[in-house]
Every structure is written in structure tokens, then in C-alpha cells.
Amino acid sequence: MGTEQHSDIPEAGLSLLFAPGDRPDAAQMARVLALTGEAGMAAAITHASPPSEGWIEILASGLAFDLSGLQPAPAAPARPFEHAYGFAAGVPDGLREAVLLVPSGHISAGAALPPVVRAMVGLAANLVLNLPVAAVQWHPARTVIEPRTFVRIIMNWLSGGAFPALGLTALTRADDGSVASSGLAYFTGQEVRVEGRPDEAPADAIKQAIRVVDFLSRVGPLDRPCSVEGMPGLIAEPSQYGKLVWVWRKA
């Protein structure tokens, strides 16, 4: 795990991490995409580079995405991460080979728009189901997610469930009991800090913050205080300094 910047890896996107030798090639990807079509998600290769370059363009849900780092080309570099979710025994060692999935050039400017994000993570979840992926990295929040956990939270979200706050964002509890987000600004332009309570269990504080992130992901950026839907007594208020939303309890 590290914190150094890798400017050659786009911030908008995700990486599928593999053990050495497990990365797919373009032919395997064509077979996998055929399986996703049978499962109900239409996706197809619209362009393929020479094998030595190791990238393809995929059309999914009417949007184009680039997948690079395929064999026999070199792997894409694995991105440093700060938060891990879903691993019972810690993140596996040796995950240095990545396949990179990003919005294609003509839609990259709208990479954070909900239709683009939903199409990309939906495609990724279908790939994870059909490839020996060892971990998934979500770049904007610097998270790494266990594959089955990734599929579960993404499929739940795409089916109308809660926004996957522990994965597409990260939540950290401070010593004072408050919980702060990382990566929410990618979607809304603002991070959030939820006021803590001295008598509140850490797990309860995180659960509350998850619900707040789900709310903010649906309403978008705030320019004035408002009540948090479904959470009586909680007020969300944009800070005058920086791109931050404070969530506090009404007395």
C-alpha cells in the first residue's frame, strides 16, 4: 500500500487485479463478453489493437470503454490504495498485474456522470464473475475490494439498492467519533463529515455515514442546508470553506 501519485493511471476508472499469469487476452475477453450477453448485459468488442499493445474498446449499454493491460502486452500498473473492503484475511500479496477499465476518449469528460459510472461498474461486475480476478481497485476513492464483495454491492446498487459507500467511496472514523468520506467528491463535488456522538458504537457511526452518503449521492451537491432524508434530526450543511458537507444533529 502506498500514497505516491501515478499520473499515468487515469483517476476515472477501475483496475481488475490478477495473480501473475492470470490476466486474459483479447480472445478470452471476446468469450467472456459473449457470456455477459447471455446473462443479460449486451457488451461487445468494437475495436482491438494488435496483441502486442493489449487493449480493446468495449461497447456496453451504448457507451464505449477502453480495457488495457491484456496479455501478451505488459500489465497495467497496480494503483496504490488506502482502504480495503471485503477481505476476510487481508488483501492478497503479489497482486501487481492489472487490467485497466476506463471510459473511452469521447465520453471521458463525463466519466463521473451516473449513466457512465453505472455502465462501467456493471460491465466490471460481469467481468469479475467470469474471470479469475483477485481484487478490484476503484481509483477515485483509492479503494481495493474483494471480488465477490464488489459484485454484490454493485449488483445491489444497479438493482435499486443503496449506493455502495464502502467501495465506491471510503469512510474513516476519527478519534472524536466523526466519520469522513473519501471519493464522494468524484460524484458530487463534495466530501462529507458526519458528526459523531460520544456514546455511539463505531459500527453504528459507519452505518449512519453509509446512509448519509447514499442520500448525498442521490441529491447531488448541496448549496444550502437541508434535512437528511429518512434520518430525523440530521442536518446536512455545505461548508463555506472547501468542498465539504457537514452533517450534524439538530438539538
Question: CA nearest 135: which of 178, 64, 87?
Answer: 87
Question: CA nearest 232: which of 210, 214, 250?
Answer: 250
- Of 2 and 119, the one with more pLDDT: 119
Q: Is the pLDDT of residue 241 over 90?
A: no
Give the mean pLDDT of 204-223.
95
Report the helix count and the strand count for the chain, using DSSP H and E: 6, 15
Backbone phi, psi, residue 40, to 5°: 110, -5
Alpha carbon distance 29, 55 (integer Å)? 10
Give the mean pLDDT of 155-166.
96
pLDDT, tens digit, 9 for 90 and up, residues 25-71: 999 999 999 887 666 678 999 999 999 999 999 999 899 999 999 99
Give the mean pLDDT of 238-243.
85
Q: Is the pLDDT of residue 214 over 70?
A: yes
